Amino acid sequence: MSKKTKQELENNKLNKRLRHAVGDAINDFNMIEPGDKIMVCLSGGKDSYALLDILRQLQASAPIDFELVAVNLDQKQPGFPEEVLPTYLESIGVPYKIVEEDTYSTVKRVLDEGKTTCSLCSRLRRGILYRTAKELGCTKIALGHHRDDILATMFLNMFYGGKLKAMPPKLVSDNGEHIVIRPLAYVKEKDLIKYAELKQFPIIPCNLCGSQPNLQRQVIGDMLRDWDKRFPGRIESMFSALQNVVPSHLADPELFDFVGLERGQTLKHGGDLAFDSEKMPERYSDGSEEDESEIKITPSKPERKVINILANKPKTCGL
């Protein structure tokens, strides 16, 4: 096999892996429904480019119809290349809107020099995106957060916020008017890095926050990447834990009735066994397990019918 052919096979495998990861997340959380108009938030980074690209692939093949509109918030950062995103979006034929709001000056004016800008910047950005989604008549807002972002948020909340909380793949917006979805919830960041290189997306760096040293999120991200290198499978196990929560073995009396616990009561997840050593569900596997064929996944039963986004459009017969 030639080096070129081998690389093409690897590229196809990567594309297929991303499509299935996104499709599985959409199906598991019923993110996209027939007739949806989805606002894809495009920052100019690798994650949002990949999100738009994969959603376009699914849009072309899925058995349901939905619309996509790309939205970029131009925050008037010094040196921001305003022409890059419009040129790219026009070249691929995606409807788009560029929203111009000088949040950069607001953040710099309000915060003291040396303070991290992420919290205020994200709040301002969020409000503008909610307003834009309403103006465009969108039913869903798609964000480009991936699996590693979700885990990093969990550790940020644990280490600095005193909460066991992460980013949900699907939620209601702060103002209660929109459904926010994260179709990349099952996607590994290292796969997105490879995909961006393969697709040669015109990446725009964020100079407002990316240049700040010692950000808490950067520190957590470095920790996760280090663990991923030194302990293969740990990241997959942690993400699996987010979907296997056992309230009876935590310590939140609002989630479990510890006060009313009685002798003879049978707990859903057992009693004194504190550590569960179980095989990793296939979708979270990093490929290092020797006997993946034995892994069994029992699909959850949705309360309402969910259309498989990975299925193909029904064929139509010509006259």
Binding residues for [4Fe-4S] cluster: 118, 121, 209
List the binding residues. 118, 121, 209
- String of DSSP letters for 123-192: HHHHHHHHHHHHHHT-SEEE----HHHHHHHHHHIIIII-------SEEE-TTSS-EEE-TTTT--HHHH
Specify the DSSP class assigned to residue 290. Answer: S
- Reading phi first (left if > 0) and then psi (alpha if -120 to 50, else beta), residue 114 is in left
Could you tell me where the DSSP H helices lie in 170-268?
A: 189-199, 216-230, 234-242
Tell me, rounded to whole angstroms, the distance of Cα 316 from its chain centroid: 34
Angle between helices 103-110 and 118-136 (to 10 degrees): 150
Is-contact 110 148, C-beta < 8 A? no
Using DSSP's 3-state secondary structure scheme, residue 299 falls into coil
Q: What angle do CA 16, 25, 67 make, to 5 degrees?
A: 85
